[in-house]
Amino acid sequence: MDTHHNDHGSDHGDGSNYLNATSGIWSWMFTIDHKRIGVMYTFGTIGAMMLGGLFALLVRLNLWVPDGVFDNNTYNQFFTLHGAVMVFLFVIPGIPGALGNFVLPLMLGAKDVAFPKINLLSLWLWAIGALFFVAVLVTGGIDTGWTFYTPYSVTNDSSMVFAVLGAFILGFSSIFTGLNFIVTVHRMRPKGMGWFNMPLFVWGIYSTAVIQVLATPVLGITLLMLAVEKMAGLGIFDPSLGGDAVLFQHFFWFYSHPAVYIMILPAMAIISELMATFSRKKVFGYTLVAYSSIAIAAFGFLVWGHHMFTSGQSAWAGLVFSTLTFSISIPSAIKVFNWLSTMYKGSVRLDTPMWYALAFLWMFTIGGLTGMFLGTMGTDVHLHDTYFVVSHFHYVMVGSIMFAFFGGLHYWWPKMFGKMYNEFMGKLGAVLIFLGFNVTFFPQFVMGSRGMPRRYANYLPEFQELHQVSTVGAFILGIGVAVGVWTLFSSIFLGKKAPDNPWGGTSMEWETATPPIEHNFHDTPSVKPVYDFSPLVYNEATGNWDRIAEESGDNHG
Amino acid sequence: MNLPILNTLASLVQDQKVAVPSDPTAEGTYWFPVQASTLAEKSDWTFYYIYWVSAFFTALIVAAMVFMAIRYRYRKGVWEGEASPGHSWTLEITWSIIPFLLTIVMWWSGFKSYMYSDTVPPDAYTIQVTAQQWSWEFEYPNGAKTYKELHLPVDTDVTFVMKSKDVIHGFWIPAFRVKKDVVPGRYTKTWAHPTMEGQYTLFCTEYCGTNHSQMMVQVTVEDQDSFDKWVAAKADPSAGLTDVEYGKQIWSQQCIACHSNDGSVVIGPSWKGTWGTEREFEDGSSAIMDENYILNSIVDPNSQLVKGYPPAMPPYKDLSQDQVDGLIAYIKSLGN
């Protein structure tokens, strides 16, 4: 019995797929296949993550002793480059570029995104932006922090121009991806897939895309102003030239706060898929989870001043920002409760992707709740610019977003490469990452409220113990990430052949061959009710979840 | 903003000033240093409220997750979840309203304590704070100036009027829970009412460059009498010192961050063995180090930039004649 052909035949039967259909470096560099572009983003952003991670280990190494291991200037560059590489080259582009690109058209039964050539352009812009950051490294580095606050970033004499231009170019990569995804979701859904019959992954990617298009231009203009000020001496942000030092913060955070929703919404999108598939049940409260994505995207534009409560901003502006910040906590909480409820009366399978999803629920709860301390004006006065903030955002960026990324990678990797990774190694990586992460960052909450400022190359001896615990955790985390990445990469060569639907997912990407053929489907699969698990039956012999067709009479049982 | 309605609203959120007796036996907690100001109690109350709400919900969520992962675990043959409602308005409303009500308390109490720390008492004892890369200067009403230490009288309102000479810095005394950015081109203000005698630390808390982590200042809170004596003595810092000693004192407070006295290079040239020597400048010209050279280097440092060094020194236009004399004497004493 040919179990591949359980739905109108979605492979060529000759082993050819998008990976081997054409060969040679030009066929990859000039591809317009969203799947190949997604694969290149995957390797590129994972590479950036490892580079950013290397800087993180250097940062934590320096903090082993109060007087530092490296000189101050070197340390300051390490934390700046860690932040800049992670934010601009990994977290912002990562999930949309790698998984959004690969999965979105498949989920819509489409052959590609709306604008495949612009998609390639986005990838090239990412690569060029990355080269600019390499130029930063090679020409002496920057030490302003990833936030480039003025006047320090204007008067500072280093490779700022490369960094500013690099971020500018990466911004366009993001804008074009957002544009592409918006049009794809609006115009390329199959007949019968209304908005409320789409997988929640699509809602998440769509909400992200809206922010990418609306917010990123503000960063672009801000960076241009910074460059113009430095090169032409025009007084915008530098008081010695007649500018306003705090104005930069408004411009910068007007983008950078929505940017963190560009980071988290795709992660939440992945979690929706994982919770559904591994509970074998539709996400509870589907409609509200969908609306929450849009609400988070919209409200995200209104809260930037919560980064500026101590900047000299007026208390009344602060009150407005604090109020709006709390308004985002409600849709976020709604999502967490709905995901949890998805497990109720489900059939919960604890494969590696689900370990990451459940870890996400815990880490995101902590990350989100610690945001309340910072959105509350009075407590923020004490906690701003301390390790408490550092810990809060790492709980969201790493504990939530990176965990979701790894969960999504483990979930879709068999579809992308046609191989199953080693399940024990997958879980080992997850455990090391979870342990290492918490050992690194939980102590930092305590350090912050006790009086440890952030971005400090040296510190008072009373903080040494907690710093050392944190550093040990960072190295455990590093090992865990290496194990996770190794598990995935090595499976490409060493893994068992993967069936079409190893997890029993209901969305259309699971109805095509593994790996997919170049043009995704011979015939578009029929649209079914979203998250309907009833036709899927696990086949012990093949490890595949077979789809028992209903009305069509095409029943392979 | 100065609209009358806002002032009325502000007065609703300001508490009465509370006198708290000094308690030298008080210790910090797991999360915080001691509560050494009237603000600290208010700020900490809000923190602990959020903390307990957070701890409760985290425990609830994790427990629910673990319970359901076990109770509803996959069993062979159970290909999908049991039929159950996919949605519940009751639940959605409940788990939106309850968190919403809990967060209102956070939001409001945080606003109150913020307004308390942001509403500077008029006519309080005012200290002028100037931040620069990478040191502080504190000027007291009687003209005294200190650099490495800040003394404050206990049980008194103290206002800080702050500005930066260069980039944005941050003024943070964790024991007081007081923090405000110090910005170039404008004044920012904050205040504190210290309640406990003791020694605390002031940190720079807005990243400002290479030695951002080395701008710590010891804060001493003492009784009014001791404070009055201390500040009176500081008003004449040169009292009892020779020119060379006075110069060395100024160096150790304002110049040491960049200039060493032992030949090593920190940021700028070392002062050791430079008196009377020929200094070569970036533009090819040169000059002998004498009294006028030193004066010019202080008030217009980049006009004669020594070759091989960055133009990193800000001008110091406020030094008195006596202070410049002291510095000249000290540099002379370091050899030629």
State yes or no: pLDDT of B178 exceeds 90.
yes
CA dist B50 and B267 (Å) reads 45
Global pTM? 0.88
| Confidence tier at B211 by pLDDT (50, 70, 90) | very high
| Chain B closest-CA separation from residue A73 CA (Å) | 5
B253 and B162 belong to one structural domain: no
For the stretch B71-110, pLDDT in tens is 999 988 888 888 888 999 999 999 999 999 999 999 999 9
| 3-state SS assignment for residue A65 | coil
How far apart are alpha carbons A206 and A417 in whole angstroms?
Answer: 25
Structure tokens at B186: 């404008």
Average pLDDT over residues B185-195: 95
Nearest CB to B174; choose among A243, A373, A451:
A451
> Two tokens at A532?
């309907």
Q: Could you tell me if residue B75 is inside a domain?
A: no
ipTM for the predicted complex comes to: 0.93
Domain membership of residue B217 (yes or no) is yes
**Cα distance from B274 to chain A (closest Cα, Å)?**
27
Residue of B nearest to A385 (CA): B205
pLDDT band at A340 (very low <50, low <70, confident <90, very high): very high
Is pLDDT at A148 greater than 80 in this prediction? yes
Chain B residues lying within 8 Å of A288, measured CB to CB: 87, 92
**Chain B CB within 8 Å of residue A362 CB:** yes
Q: How many CB pairs lie under 8 A apart between chains A and B?
A: 274
Q: Are A234 and A209 in contact (CB under 8 A)?
A: no
3-state secondary structure of A537: strand
How many percent of chain A have pLDDT more than 90?
88
Residues B31, A450: C-beta atoms closer than 8 Å? yes
Q: How close is the nearest chain A Cα to the Cα of B52, in Å? A: 11
pLDDT of residue B237: 74
Residue B196 lies in a domain: yes
- Tell me if chain B has a CB within 8 Å of the CB of A382: yes
CATH number of the domain enclosing B288: 1.10.760.10
C-beta atoms of B32 and A144 within 8 A: no
Give the whole-number percent of chain B exceeding pLDDT 70: 92
- pLDDT tens per residue, range A173-183: 999 999 999 99
DSSP-assigned states of every residue in B210-263: TTGGG--EEEEEE-HHHHHHHHHHHHSTTTT--HHHHHHHHIIIIITTT--SSS
Q: Render pLDDT for A446-501 as a digit per residue (tens, 0 to 9).
A: 999 999 999 999 999 999 999 999 999 999 999 999 999 999 999 999 999 999 99
Of the three residues B208, B235, B262, the one that is the final residue of a domain is: B235
Alpha-carbon distance A506 to nearest alpha carbon in chain B (angstroms): 11
What separation in angstroms does the CA of B219 have from each of A385, B36, B152, B158, B200?
A: 20, 11, 7, 13, 5
- A 489-548 near B (Cβ less than 8 A): 504, 533-534, 536-538
Sorting pLDDT into bands at 50, 70 and 90, what band is A156?
A: low
Taking contacts as CB-CB distances below 8 angstroms, the residues of chain A near B172 are 385, 453
Quote the tokens at residue B192.
């504190």
Residue predicted with more confidence, A30 or B28: A30
Q: What is the mean pLDDT of residues A413-431?
A: 97
Domain ranges within chain A, ordered by starting residue:
34-547
In this predicted model, what pLDDT tens digit does every residue of A94-128 receive, in sequence order? Answer: 999 999 999 999 999 999 999 999 999 999 999 99
Tracing tokens 């639907």 back to the chain, one arrives at A501
- Tell me: pLDDT of A3 over 90: no
pLDDT at position B77? 85
Q: What are the respective helix, strand and coil percentages of chain A, to the nearest 5?
A: 70, 5, 30
**A244-257 tens-digit pLDDT:** 999 999 999 999 99
Inform me whether the pLDDT recorded for A166 exceeds 70: yes
Question: Which residues of B fall within a CB distance of 8 Å from A372?
Answer: 50, 54, 103, 106
Q: Is the domain of B323 the same as that of B261?
A: yes
**CATH assignment at residue B176:** 2.60.40.420
Give the mean pLDDT of A70-76: 95
d(Cα B161, Cα B187) in Å, to the nearest integer? 7
Shortest Cα distance from B210 to chain A (angstroms)? 5
Task: Return the closest-CA partner of residue B272 out of B255, B284, B285.
Answer: B255
For an interface test with B, the pick among A59, A384, A449, A458 (most B C-beta atoms closer than 10 Å) comes out as A449
Surface-to-core class of residue A42, CB atoms within 10 Å of its CB (0-12 exposed, 13-18 middle, 19+ buried)? buried
A13 token code pair? 């039967």
Quote the minimal CA–CA distance from A207 to chain B in Å: 21
Claim to verify: residue B179 and residue B249 sit in the same structural domain: no
Tell me how far CA of residue B325 lies from CA of B244, B247, B322, in angstroms: 9, 8, 5
- A128-137, A279-288, B26-35, B272-281: segment of lowest average pLDDT: B26-35
Residues 6+ apart with CB under 8 A from A124: none
Q: What is the pLDDT of residue A228?
A: 85
pLDDT band at A11 (very low <50, low <70, confident <90, very high): low
Confirm whether B53 is domain-assigned. no
* Closest by Cβ to A281, choosing from B54, B80, B111: B80
Q: Residue A311: its pLDDT value, please?
A: 95
Q: Please give the share of chain A, as a percent, with pLDDT higher than 70.
A: 95
Mean pLDDT of B247-274: 92
Structure confidence by residue, pLDDT tens digits, A511-530: 999 999 999 998 889 999 99
CA distances from A84 to A225, A308, A389, A429, B293 (A): 19, 20, 17, 26, 43
Contact B81 A537 (CB under 8 A): no
Given B235, B268, B296, the domain boundary residue is B235
Q: Which residues of B touch A459 (CB under 8 A)?
A: 213
CB-CB neighbors (< 8 A) of B107 in chain A: 322-323, 326, 375-376
Is A73 in CB contact (< 8 Å) with chain B?
Answer: yes
Residue A9 has pLDDT above 80, yes or no: no
Using pLDDT thresholds of 50, 70 and 90, give the confidence band for residue A49.
very high
Q: How sure is the predictor about B1, in pLDDT bands with cuts at 50, 70 and 90?
A: very low
- Is the model's pLDDT at A300 over the cut of 80? yes
Asked whether residue A555 carries a pLDDT value surpassing 50, the answer given is no
Classify residue B67: in a domain, yes or no: no
DSSP 8-class letter at A113: -
- Average pLDDT of the segment spanning A362-377: 97
Integer Cα distance of A97 and A243 in angstroms: 37
- Closest partner CB to B62 (pick from A281, A362, A537): A362
B170–A310 CB contact, under 8 Å: yes
Task: List CB contacts (< 8 A) between B46 and chain A.
Answer: 376, 378-379
Give yes or no for residue B287 having a pLDDT over 70: yes
Give A114 to chain B, closest Cα distance, Å. Answer: 33
Structure token pair of residue A512? 């095509």
Q: Which residues of A touch B95 (CB under 8 A)?
A: 333-334, 337
B287 and B329 co-located in one domain: yes
Shared domain check, B227 and B132: yes
Q: How far apart are CA A533 and CA A545, in angstroms?
A: 10
Using an 8 Å CB-CB cutoff, list chain B residues near A285: 86-88, 91-92
Q: Do residues A371 and A392 make contact, with C-beta atoms less than 8 angstroms apart?
A: yes
Category of A155 on φ-ψ map: left (φ > 0), alpha (ψ -120 to 50) or beta: alpha
In chain A, residues 159-178 whose CB comes closer than 8 Å to chain B: none
pLDDT tens per residue, range A388-419: 999 999 999 999 999 999 999 999 999 999 99
pLDDT at B71: 95
H or E stretch covering B86: none
Sole residue written with tokens 């043959």 = B77
Distance CA A521, CA A188 (A): 14
Residue (of A501, A497, A518) closest to A510 by Cα position: A501
Q: Is residue B120 part of a domain?
A: no
Cross-chain residue pair A369–B57, CB shorter than 8 Å: yes
Are A348 and B57 in contact (CB < 8 Å)? no
Number of Cβ within 10 Å of residue A493's Cβ equals: 8
Please check whether residue B315 lies inside any domain of the structure: yes
Architecture of domain A34-547: Up-down Bundle (1.20)
Q: For residue B184, give the chain A residue with the closest CA.
A: A239
A6 or A46, higher pLDDT: A46
- Mark whether B278 and B230 lie in a shared domain: no
Of the pLDDT bands very low, low, confident and very high (cuts 50, 70, 90), residue B203 is: very high
Torsion from C-alpha of B208, B211, B212, B216, nearest 10 degrees: -140
pLDDT at residue A157 in the model: 57
Q: What is the pLDDT of residue B317?
A: 87
Q: Is A205 exposed, middle or buried (0-12, 13-18, 19+ CB in 10 A)?
A: buried
Q: Which structural domain range is residue B262 located in?
A: 243-333
In sign, the C-alpha dihedral spanning B308, B313, B318, B322 is negative
Number of domains in chain B: 2
